[in-house]
Chains A and B, each alone.
Chain A
Amino acid sequence: MDSNEATTSESVSKKKGKTKKVKRKVKSDEAPVQEMEQAEGEETEKKSESGPCFPPTFSVSEIKNKQRRHSMFLKLKEEKRKAPPKEVPKTIENQRIYDETTVNPEDEEVAFDEGTDEFSAYFNRLTNPKVLITTSDRPRGRTVRFCEQLATVIPHAHVYYRRGLALKRVIPQCVSRGFTYLMVINEDRKVPNGLVLCHLPDGPTAHFKVSNVRLRKEMKRRGKDPTEHVPEVILNNFTTRLGHSIGRMFAALFPHDPQFVGRQVATFHNQRDFIFFRFHRYIFKNEKKVGIQELGPRFTLKLRSLQKGTFDSKFGEYEWVHKRHEMDSSRRKFHL
C-alpha cells in the first residue's frame, strides 16, 4: 500500500521517500526518519487533497469527467507552483562576510561618538561648509576641467592653483580663511587618479583612489549645466563603522538645507568598497515614478587610508589603511 502510493509519476520526491522507506524497513530508523515523516506528511496532504486513492500509473488526462479533470489539473498546477519554492540566488552581497563593525541604527555608542566627533560641529549646524579644491603640481587640462566641474557641483567650493606649495603650509592658511574642507586631486599622466579629502579644523583626512572620471561633455544624454541650487545628498550602503564615518565626511561637504527647487541630487553609493559618485537632476512624474537625468561629472572612489589628524604623511596617525595582502585576499569581505 505505502509503496504503491509512493510510486506516482507526478512527484519525484515521493520516489525518494519510497527508497528511504525501504531502507527503514531493513534498518532501524535513524536519519531517514525525518524524510519518512516528510513523505508521510506529503501522503497525508495528498490524501486530504484528493479523497480517493489513485492507481499508480495514472495521469490527469485519463479522467473522463471534464469537471473533475479540470479541477485535478488545476490542483496539479497549484502543487507544481507551490512545490519548489523559488530559490534566492547567491550574490556577493548575500554572501558577504558579516562585518562585526556594522552599525546598528540604534547603537548608543555610535550615536555618542557621532555627537562628539569632528563632524559634530557641522551636524549641529554650527559651521557651514566651505571647500577648497586644488590639484597636485602642474595639473594638465583634464584635471583642471575636472576641478572646475567639481566646483560647480559642490556649493561654496573654490578652485586654487597649487603653485608647488606644501600642503602643510596650505592647511593653516585655509583654516585661517575659514575653509572647512581641503580637497586635493592628484594627477598622474594627465588623468586624475587620487583624491585627498581633509576636514580642516584638525579633522580626519581620507585618501582615495579615483577612477573612471567622466567629464560633463563625455556624458551621454546629459542635461544642462547644474544650477547654483544646493543639491540633496544620497548616501547608500555605508554600513560599517568606517563606512559611517566616511559617509559623514561626504555629507559634511554639502550645506545642510538642500534647495528642493533645484531638483538636484548628489549620490555617493557604496558597492563592494567602491564609492560611485553621480550627480542627477530629478523630476517626479507622479508619486510612483521619478525621472532622473545625469548632469555633472561622475567618478568612482576607493578608500585607501583614513588618517586621524590633518594631512601628515610621515607622522600621521592612521585609523585605517588598506593593506592589500590582508584585505584583498577574500572576495567576500568588504570594509566600507
Chain B
Amino acid sequence: MQHDDVIWDLIGNKSFCSYKVKTKTQQFCRNEYNITGLCNRSSCPLANSQYATVREEKGLCYLYMKVIERAAFPARMWEKVKLDRNYAKALEQIDENLIYWPRFIRHKCKQRLTKITQYLIRIRKLTLKRQRKLVPLSRKVERREKRREEKALIAAQLENAIEKELLDRLKQGTYGDIYNFPIHAFDKAMEKQEEETESEEEEEEDEEESGTREFVAEEEFEESDLSDFEDMNNLKGSSDEEEDAEEQSSEEEETEEELEEEKTKAKSKGKTPLKGPVRKKRAYVEIEYEQETEPAQKSKAT
C-alpha cells in the first residue's frame, strides 16, 4: 500500500535515504525524477504517489507523470509525454496534462521547463562561438623544457654572440661611413707590414753578426739624438750605422706596437703581450749571456 507519510517518516527528515545528499545548511535529492532537486516532503518522488517532472533528453523536453494507480507496476510507473519545441506551446501542454493536479507541481514543472529551455539556448549559442580548448600540460615535460631552456640560454652566450655579430658587420662595412674606426684597421695593417720587414731585418742582422763589427748605441738612446747623428750618417755613409738607426727605430716601433697591443688586447690575459717583451729581452739576454759566462768559467777554474 502507498502510505506516503510512512515512507516519508522512514526516509525523510533526519533519516537515511540513498538519494539524499546532506550539506551544512541544506539537503539535496539526487533522484533523477526529482523536480526541484531538494529533499522536501513535497519534492520527494518516493514519498509522493502523484508526481510529475520535466526532463530533457538530447535537446527535447519530456513531461514525466506518476499516478497512484500505477504504483504497483514499477515498469510502467512513469508516463512520458514529449513536449513541443515551442516554449509557449509546451507550457500549454503541461497545463493540459497536469490539469487538476496540485498547484505546486504544475508551477514547479513550468519553472523547470523554463530553465531547461534557457540552458538549451545557451548551449546552442556557445557552440557557434569559439571555444577554449584545454590542453593538458605534462608536469614532467614542462620541467624538462624549462631546464633545457636554461641550459640553452647559458650555452647561447647571447651578449657575446650579439657583440661579435655587430663587430663583424662593422668590419664588413654594412655601416658605411658612419663610424670613423676603419683608420685603425689601416694602421694595424701597416703595423703588420712593419713587423714583417723587421723580422726580415733581424734575420739579416743575425746572418751578419758572425765576424762583423758594429757600433751599438746605449740603452738611453733617444730619437732626438738621431738628428745629431744624421750628419754623421751622411758623412760616413756606412751600412753599419744605417743598420744601427734601423735597429733603434725598429726597437722603438716594437715598443709602440706592444703598447698598442696591450691596449687593444685587453681581454687576452698576459700571454701574447709577454711574448713581445720576452723576445725583446732575449736580445738583451744574449748580451748578458756573454757576461755570465765569465763567472761560470771562474767556477770551472776552481
Inter-subunit contact A260/B175 (CB<8 Å): yes
Complex partner residue of A211 from B149, B167, B296, CB under 8 angstroms: B149
Q: How far, in angstroms, from A73 to B241 measured CA to CA in the complex?
A: 38
Inter-subunit contact A93/B155 (CB<8 Å): yes
Inter-subunit contact A286/B167 (CB<8 Å): no
A324 within 8 A of B: yes
> Known contacts being A274-B152, A276-B153, is A302 close to B184, with CB within 8 Å?
no
Selected interface stretch from B94-102, B140-148, B243-251, B273-281: B140-148
B170 within 8 A of A: yes
Hey, what's the 0/1 contact readout for A315-336 against B, CB within 8 Å counting as 1?
0000000001000100000000
Inter-subunit contact B167/A288 (CB<8 Å): yes
Which residues of chain A in 34-76 are interfacial with respect to chain B, using CB atoms and an 8 Å cutoff? 66-67
Complex partner residue of A287 from B132, B158, B165, B181, CB under 8 angstroms: B181
A161 within 8 A of B: no
Q: How far, in angstroms, from A284 to B158 measured CA to CA in the complex?
A: 17
B72 within 8 A of A: no
Q: Is the interface of B mostly helix, strand, loop or mixed?
A: helix
Hey, what's the 0/1 contact readout for B122-161 against A, CB within 8 Å counting as 1?
0000000110100000000100111011011101101101
CB distance from B160 to the nearest CB of A (A): 10
Q: How far, in angstroms, from A234 to B176 measured CA to CA in the complex?
A: 18
Inter-subunit contact B153/A271 (CB<8 Å): yes
Q: Residue of B at shortest CB range from A274? A: B152
Inter-subunit contact B296/A66 (CB<8 Å): yes
B162 within 8 A of A: yes
Inter-subunit contact A269/B158 (CB<8 Å): yes
Inter-subunit contact B130/A164 (CB<8 Å): yes
B179 within 8 A of A: yes
Inter-subunit contact B165/A234 (CB<8 Å): yes
CB distance from A66 to the nearest CB of B (A): 6
A91 within 8 A of B: yes
CB distance from A191 to the nearest CB of B (A): 13
Q: How far, in angstroms, from A236 to B144 measured CA to CA in the complex?
A: 24
Contacts of A267 in B (CB 8 A): 158, 161-162, 165
A88 within 8 A of B: no
B59 within 8 A of A: no
B182 within 8 A of A: yes
A98 within 8 A of B: no
Q: How far, in angstroms, from A336 to B163 measured CA to CA in the complex?
A: 23
Inter-subunit contact A265/B166 (CB<8 Å): yes
Inter-subunit contact B162/A284 (CB<8 Å): no
Inter-subunit contact B148/A282 (CB<8 Å): no
Complex partner residue of B159 from A67, A274, A292, A328, CB under 8 angstroms: A292
Q: How far, in angstroms, from A322 to B140 measured CA to CA in the complex?
A: 17
Inter-subunit contact A211/B146 (CB<8 Å): yes
CB distance from A322 to the nearest CB of B (A): 11
Contacts of B166 in A (CB 8 A): 234, 265, 282, 284, 290, 292
Complex partner residue of A324 from B141, B151, B169, B184, CB under 8 angstroms: B141
Contacts of A66 in B (CB 8 A): 296
Inter-subunit contact A164/B162 (CB<8 Å): no
Contacts of A93 in B (CB 8 A): 155
Contacts of A282 in B (CB 8 A): 162, 166
Q: How far, in angstroms, from A300 to B296 measured CA to CA in the complex?
A: 70
Inter-subunit contact A272/B152 (CB<8 Å): yes
Q: How far, in angstroms, from A148 to B158 measured CA to CA in the complex?
A: 24
Q: Residue of B at shortest CB range from A168? A: B130
Inter-subunit contact B155/A271 (CB<8 Å): yes
> Known contacts being A66-B296, A211-B149, A284-B179, is A278 close to B141, with CB within 8 Å?
no
Complex partner residue of A272 from B155, B162, B165, B169, CB under 8 angstroms: B155
> Known contacts being A267-B158, A286-B181, is A274 close to B296, with CB within 8 Å?
no
A33 within 8 A of B: no
> Known contacts being A166-B130, A280-B162, A288-B167, is A274 close to B149, with CB within 8 Å?
yes
A212 within 8 A of B: yes
Q: Residue of B at shortest CB range from A286? A: B181
Q: How far, in angstroms, from A92 to B171 measured CA to CA in the complex?
A: 30
Q: Residue of A at shortest CB range from B150? A: A212
Contacts of B153 in A (CB 8 A): 271, 274, 276, 300
Which residues of chain B in 36-89 are interfacial with respect to chain A, using CB atoms and an 8 Å cutoff? none
Inter-subunit contact B155/A234 (CB<8 Å): no
B185 within 8 A of A: yes
Inter-subunit contact B149/A278 (CB<8 Å): no
> Known contacts being A284-B179, A287-B184, is A236 close to B161, with CB within 8 Å?
yes
Complex partner residue of B156 from A269, A290, A328, CB under 8 angstroms: A269
B178 within 8 A of A: yes
CB distance from B286 to the nearest CB of A (A): 12
Q: Residue of B at shortest CB range from A294? A: B159
Q: Residue of A at shortest CB range from B175? A: A260
27 example contacts (A-B, Cβ-Cβ < 8 A) are as follows A92-B155, A93-B155, A166-B130, A232-B169, A234-B165, A260-B176, A260-B178, A261-B178, A267-B158, A267-B162, A269-B161, A272-B155, A273-B152, A274-B149, A276-B152, A278-B162, A280-B162, A282-B162, A284-B166, A284-B181, A286-B181, A286-B264, A287-B167, A287-B181, A288-B264, A290-B170, A324-B141
Query: CB within 8 Å of A: which residues of B?
Result: 129-130, 132, 141, 144-146, 148-149, 151-153, 155-156, 158-159, 161-163, 165-167, 169-171, 175-176, 178-179, 181-182, 184-185, 264, 296
Query: CB within 8 Å of B: which residues of A?
Result: 66-67, 91-93, 137, 164, 166, 211-212, 232, 234, 236, 260-261, 265, 267, 269, 271-274, 276, 278, 280, 282, 284, 286-288, 290, 292, 300, 302, 324, 328
What 15 new A-B contacts, CB under 8 Å, besides A137-B132, A287-B170?
A93-B155, A137-B130, A211-B146, A211-B149, A236-B165, A260-B176, A260-B178, A267-B161, A269-B158, A269-B162, A271-B155, A287-B167, A290-B170, A292-B159, A328-B141
Those 8 A-B pairs whose CB atoms lie nearest each other, nearest first: A287-B181, A271-B156, A272-B152, A271-B152, A274-B152, A290-B166, A287-B184, A290-B163
